[in-house]
Amino acid sequence: MATNYSPKDDEGEQHKSRKPDNTAFKQQRLPAWQPILTAGTVLPAFFIIGLVFIPIGIGLFVTSNNIKEFEIDYTGIEPNSPCGICANNGTWNTTCTCEVHFRLDQPFEGNVFMYYGLSNFYQNHRRYVKSRDDSQLNGDKSSLKDPSKECEPYRMSNGRPIAPCGAIANSLFNDTLVLYYMDNGTRKEIQLTSNGIAWWTDKNVKFRNPTGDGNLSTIFKDTAKPLNWPKPVYDLDPTDPHNNGFINEDFIVWMRTAALPTFRKLYRLIMKTDSLTPTLQQGNYTLHVTYNYPVLSFDGRKRMILSTISWMGGKNPFLGIAYITVGSICFFLGVVLLIIHHKYGNRNTSADIPN
């Protein structure tokens, strides 16, 4: 039986299928609220923001200023600086020692955090950030024998895979810092601990040693150390066998790349042991530096920072200044708009029409 066919019928069905459903959402019939900006709503908002933000900013700023921080540059660029000879002769695989004397004018209470700081070091470069093998760092044996191509040119050495591979691991900070307190001419070493300087997630999740029979030296026997490292990865900390390999905390801290060219990374913790005496007393100190990390080739600087912390973290006045600035601007605008509204808001704009 023949039927009549018209292309217009398909066009009509196709057009009908594109029509949105007759629902409140698709037909935009949902109830909506549009604020009407009047003096009665805008002025209180400005004053409330100002009155809330300014006290918060003052509290954050005062808290930040109460954090004690001491910073000393030991790069050795100046000719008469204690580390000047080491700066000019220092290379990756040579060892030079120097001592920097300084004084703390105020005692440091509570736990003290010891950082090393670098300047003009661009860890945020794209190729540098990608130059690593996360599978290898997570203990994968296949990646240990065949690292990722992203690690080039720090992937293979003399026909053996580099562990850990990549430019980030190859540039590991390897200065050794020891702190002494000078007590009436007697040198007392400050106890520094490296346990707990890395993030828990990095230490227990992202970084793992490969499993296998024997110790770490046996597991890594068919690999090569990074070119700039004086020691292999399984011998980074000879004093603590549980702090070697990919789970070495100094190595983990370094592998978390910085976003800016001037940065600091946690080096050691100085734990408070006596509730009656400060962690670091007021007086003279000596920083003993085993100078291995060269920075003059890229016009960099090296620093040692001692800092306490508060409930908001380390010393950072920016957040408090930002709150005070925003609150002050809002309060000022509220006053200006209030004056304008008082002067012009009640003016009768209607003119009498003469008969």
Confidence of residue 13 (pLDDT cuts 50, 70, 90): low
> 56: burial class by Cβ within 10 Å (0-12, 13-18, 19+)?
middle
Write down the mean pLDDT value for the chain: 88
The answer on pLDDT for 270 being more than 80 is: yes
The greatest distance separating any two alpha carbons of the chain, rounded to the nearest whole angstrom, comes to 117
Beta bridge partners of 277: none
Radius of gyration for the chain, computed over Cα atoms and rounded to the nearest angstrom:
32
CB atoms within 10 A of CB 38: 10
> What is the mean predicted confidence (pLDDT) over 268-276?
90
The beta strands (E) that lie in 93-213 are given as: 96-104, 112-119, 156-157, 160-161, 176-183, 186-189
Of 344 and 210, more confident: 210
Of 168 and 315, more confident: 168
Confidence of residue 268 (pLDDT cuts 50, 70, 90): very high
Residue pLDDT, tens place only, 63-113: 999 999 999 999 988 878 888 888 877 566 677 899 999 999 999 998 999
Question: What is the rounded CA–CA span in Å between residue 354 and residue 123?
Answer: 78
Determine the residue type at 319: L
Task: Return the pLDDT at 334.
Answer: 94
Confidence of residue 184 (pLDDT cuts 50, 70, 90): confident
Task: Return the pLDDT at 273.
Answer: 87
CB atoms within 10 A of CB 319: 16
Question: What is the rounded CA–CA span in Å between residue 242 and residue 191?
Answer: 19
Question: What is the rounded CA–CA span in Å between residue 233 and residue 157?
Answer: 15
pTM strictly above 0.95: no
- DSSP 3-state assignment of 220? coil
Residue pLDDT, tens place only, 138-157: 999 999 999 999 999 999 99
Task: Return the pLDDT at 209.
Answer: 93
Question: What is the rounded CA–CA span in Å between residue 98 and residue 188?
Answer: 17
Phi, psi of 181 (to 5 degrees): -105, 130
Residue pLDDT, tens place only, 238-265: 888 889 999 999 999 999 999 999 999 9
Confidence of residue 352 (pLDDT cuts 50, 70, 90): very low
Task: Return the pLDDT at 10.
Answer: 53
- DSSP 3-state assignment of 74? coil
Residue pLDDT, tens place only, 25-70: 888 888 888 888 888 889 999 999 999 999 999 999 999 999 999 9
- DSSP 3-state assignment of 189? strand
Question: Residue 1 has what DSSP assignment?
Answer: -
Beta bridge partners of 265: 116
Question: What is the rounded CA–CA span in Å between residue 50 and residue 333?
Answer: 10
